[in-house]
Amino acid sequence: MSKTIIANFKMELSLKQSLDLLKKYKKGLKTINTNYNLVVCPDFLCLAYLSAKDEKTRVFPFNLGSQTVGHLKYGALTGEVSAFNLKDIGVSFCLLGHSERRQMGENNHIIREKIKTALKAKLIPVLCIGEEKKLSKSKLDTFLAKEIRETFSGFSQSEMKKIIIAYEPVWAIGNKNPCLPKKADEVHGLIKEIIFKKFKTNIKVLYGGSVNGENAKSYLEWENIDGLLVGGASLSWKKFKKVIN
Ligand code: 13P
């Protein structure tokens, strides 16, 4: 099964910078032979801009993802974007429950609704979970079990089969202090075990948190690490190329 690498541009770039960077991704990927399933998540504005381009320009050697979606199909949700509209413009993945959104008030209840809506729109939800501070093994087990229980209560096995989880320990995001690959592999194993016990299905788990060109390979070698979610190192083609090489 090919591993998945997701670039999350967050809200780091101007529209022009995002478009220029995507051009570089597109050009650069022509010269690279990669087996990874690549997904790029620019901001909504950039996604909309790309969809307005002619069909030839709209062809990318990667999938497009959004950084969140609204929890209703349509409705009075000022500032949100419908998963259905995103699907209509060619988006196929969406990040949900990113810690930066949780810090702005999203909780497991609303994230659960967002996942349900994303699935209805036929987007592939990538649920981000991770502890804020380093925890002992038993506390981390309890934390992850609670997150999974609250987020996926009432989900069916067939719904779970369509979901990806990204383990992003908050303490490892945006600094030079990533979770060690062996430890990340252990945590991914644990997440997979919890999901398997509850839903009798296997799930892909990606690692995110200070991934860069120097350490990417050391994560991808581990069996339980099905890919990467990359923030800072996705903001330059040169850096991202190192990650996928
Ligand atoms: P960094 O790769 O910059 O640590 O960000 C990780 C992240 O939050 C990706 O969603």
Say whether 214 is catalytic.
Answer: no
The gap from C-alpha 101 to its chain's centroid, in whole angstroms, comes to 13
pLDDT in tens, the chain (245 residues): 799 999 999 999 999 999 999 999 999 999 998 999 999 999 999 999 999 887 777 789 999 999 999 999 999 999 999 999 999 999 999 999 999 999 999 999 999 999 999 999 999 999 999 999 999 999 999 999 999 999 999 999 999 999 999 999 999 999 989 999 999 999 999 999 999 999 999 999 999 999 999 999 999 999 999 999 999 999 999 999 999 98
Q: Identify which of 230, 234, 243 to mutate to test ligand 1's pocket (most ligand atoms within 8 A of the CB).
A: 230
CA-closest residue to ligand 1 atom 1: 231
Residues flanking ligand 1, CB < 6 Å: 8, 98, 168, 173-174, 208-211, 229-233
Tell me how far apart the alpha carbons of residues 146 and 237 are, in angstroms, rounded to a whole number: 37
Q: Where are the domains of the chain?
A: 4-244
- Tell me which fold the domain 4-244 belongs to: TIM Barrel (3.20.20)
pTM above 0.95, yes or no: yes
**Cβ within 8 Å of residue 97, ≥6 positions away:** 106, 108, 111, 114, 127, 128, 129, 151
